[in-house]
Chains A and B, each alone.
Chain A
Amino acid sequence: MSIMSYSKALGAAMAEEMRRDDKVVCIGIDLQYYGGAFGVTQGLCEEFGEDRVVNMPIAEAGYTGLAVGAAATGLRPVVELQFGDWVTIASDQLVNQAANMRYMSGGALSVPMVMRLPCGGFGAAAAQHSHMFESWFAFVAGLKVMCPSTPEEAKGMLKTAIRENDPIIFLEHRQCYEMKGEVTEDPEFTVPIGKAAVKREGKDVTIVTYSYMVHFALEAAKILEQEGIDTEVVDLRTIKPMDTETVLNSVKKTHRVLCLQETWLTCGVAGEVAAVIADLAFDYLDAPVKRMGSPDCPAPFSPDLETYVLPSVNGIVQAVRELME
C-alpha cells in the first residue's frame, strides 16, 4: 500500500498497463513532457517514449477517430481529452463509430479504447470546462461508462477499462485529482466493471451516487449520524452497465433513497436510478424516491453562482431529512 493521489493513481494504472501490454498507447494533447493538462500522464513519455505517448494536434474528432481505427486494428488506445466538455467535438467517432462497430460488423471488429474525460464543476471554470456528459454516453448502446471517486478505484477501474474489449467512456473528476488515499501496489489489482460499492453502511436511508458526489454524500452522512439518521452510501462506480442489484438491495434494506448526481438533473443518471427503483422495488419504499442534481443552468463562472446551482453537503442533509419525515 502507498498513499497516492487520484491523479497519480491514474498515471500508475496507465504505466502498469503499458508495461503489461505493448499494444497500449496514450493519445491526446500535451501528454508528453507536459504530462497532460492535469499531470496525469506525467512520467509516461519518459518511460515509454514518444511513440507510445503521442501528442496530437488540437483535433478532437481527428485523433479520436484515429484511436477508433487504431483500436479496430490491434492497439489499445487510451485517449485523453484535455477537458471532458470537448467530447462533443469527438462524439461522432464515439457514438456512430466506436459504439456501433462491433455490432454493425456482426462481431468481426472490436474497438478496445478508453476515452479519459477530466470533468466536473467546483472550479469556476464556467460553462465550457465544467460539465459532465456521463448520461449522454450511458444512453448509447455499445458504450460503457465509468466514474471513479477514489484513488484506489481510479487505478483499478482504469486498468479494467484498458483491458476491456469495448469502448469505455471514463470520467475523471477534476476535484478528485489531488485527493489522496491508500492505493495497492499489486499490479494485478483491478476493480470489476459494472460493480457498485457500498461506501458506508446504514439502515435508515440510501444515497446512490458516483464520482465526486460520493464524498459529499459521505460528509452528509456524518452530519446525519449526529441526528440519529443512519445513511448508506452506494457508489455506482460504473454507470453502464449499472449494478442495479446493489442499488435495489440497499433500497430494500433502508426503504428510503436519494439519487444524487452533480450535473443537470433532467434526463440524468439519477432519474435512471430512480426509474429502476420505481420499477423493481416500489413496494419496499416508505417515501417517494428523491433526486438531486443541478438545475437546467449552464455552469456559471462566478464561484458564488456556481456553488448556488451545484449540489451541496447541506442540501443533501436537508433532502435526507425530508425523506425521513
Chain B
Amino acid sequence: MDRDTRLHLYREMLRIRQFEEKVRELAMANELPGFFHLYVGEEAVAVGVCSNLKKEDYITSTHRGHGHLLAKGADMNRAMAELFARETGYNKARGGSMHIAAPEVGMLGANGIVGAGIPIATGAAFSSKYQKDGKVAVAFFGDGATSQGTFHEALNIGASFSLPVVYVCENNLYGVSTRQSKVRKLEDIAERAKAYDMRGIIVDGNDIEAVCDAAGEAVRLARNGEGPTLIECKTYRHYTHFVGEPDNYRPREEVDTWKKKDPITGYAQRLIREETAVQEELDEILRSVNQEVEKAVEFAKNSPKARPDTVFDDVYAN
C-alpha cells in the first residue's frame, strides 16, 4: 500500500475517532439532545470498507452510524449540525444521530431498528443491477443483527439474485449488554454465509489494511457481477452501547485487552515502524483533524435551530 493511501486511511480513522470523542464530551455535558452510540474502537471497519467505494456507491448503516457516515465522505460540519439539531444538519434535524442519512454521498441512513438496513442495502443493489449503473451497495450491521430474520432473508435474496452487495458484520461481541456467544451458538458469523452459498470471510476488524484488502476483493467481485460476500470484522467498542450507560457487563480485563488492540494507535505504530511516516507527521494529522472537529462544532453552534414552523415539511412529497 502506498504512503498516500496509508496516511489517508490513518487520517480517516482519526476523523471518526476525534469526532466521536467530541460527541461524547458534548453529550456528557448535555450540550446535545438524544442518544449517542459511539463508534470508537471500530473505525478500521468503516474506513477499510468505504475506502474501496465510490462516492455514488450505497451504504446502509446502523444506530452506531457516525463512522460509516464520515468514512463515506460526508461533510463533518453538516454531520455535527444534525447532532446539534440545527437546520443546517444533513437532515434538517429530523433524523439526528440514529437516522442520519446523506444520500448525496450514497449513505442511505443510520437505522434505529437492528437488522433493518440489510434488506434496504440489498434493494439498493437490486436497483443498481436493474439500472445497470455499476454501483455497489454495502450493508453495515452488528453481530446482534445476524439473529434477525431480515439478515437471513436479505442474504438469501442477495445470493439468489447475485446482487452487487457486500454484507459487513461488525462483530463487537455484545448486543447492548448481552454477550452474543450466550445467545448465538455459532462462534463465527462468517460461517452463516455457507447457508446462502456465499463467500464468508473473517477479518481482524482492528487491522485497517486487512479490512481494506478483504473489502476491496468483495467490492470488486460484487461490481463484476459475481454476487455478494459476507465479511465478518472482529472488533470491539471501547465505550458502552450508548453514552451514559454503566459498563457493568464487560470484564475489565477484556476491555483493557481490546483497547491495547486499538486500530488507530496500532496503525500509528506500524506507520512509524515501517517508516511510512514520522511521529511529527502523525501529530500534524491529529492537529488538523482536531481543527476540523472544532470547526464543525463552531459551524453547528452558529447554525440556526430547526424551526417549529417547518415541522411538517417532508412528511409527504406533496
Contact = CB atoms under 8 A, between A and B. Distances in A.
A57 B123 CA distance: 14
A133 to B, nearest CB: 20
Contact of B120 (A69, A102, A105): A69
A65 B116 contact: yes
A25 interface: yes
A97 B116 contact: yes
Interface residues of A, number: 41
A245 to B, nearest CB: 18
A106 B156 CA distance: 32
Interface residues of B, number: 47
A97 B130 CA distance: 22
A105 B101 contact: yes
A108 B89 contact: no
Nearest to A59: B153
Interface in A156-176: 164-166
A277 B103 CA distance: 42
Contacts of B2: none
Given A56-B157, A108-B103, A103 B119 contact: no
B318 interface: yes
Contact of A73 (B101, B113, B127, B156): B127
Contacts of B124: 69-70, 72-73
Nearest to A165: B317
Contacts of B118: 65
B99 interface: yes
Nearest to B110: A104
Contact of A75 (B108, B130, B150): B130
Nearest to A72: B108
Contacts of B150: 61-62, 65, 92
Contacts of A320: none
A69 B99 contact: no
B311 to A, nearest CB: 10
B192 to A, nearest CB: 15
Given A66-B154, A101-B109, A104-B91, A164 B121 contact: no
Interface string A90-112: 00110011001111111111100
Given A69-B122, A109-B103, A57 B116 contact: no
Contacts of B183: none
A164 B317 contact: yes
Interface string A129-166: 00000000000011010000000000000000000111
Nearest to B102: A108
B316 A166 contact: yes
A25 B99 CA distance: 27
11 contacts: A56-B157, A63-B119, A64-B119, A66-B123, A68-B123, A73-B123, A103-B94, A103-B314, A104-B91, A104-B99, A142-B315
Interface of A: 25, 51, 56-57, 59, 61-75, 92-93, 96-97, 100-110, 141-142, 144, 164-166
Given A66-B123, A102-B317, 8 more contacts: A57-B157, A59-B156, A62-B157, A65-B120, A66-B119, A71-B123, A73-B124, A93-B120
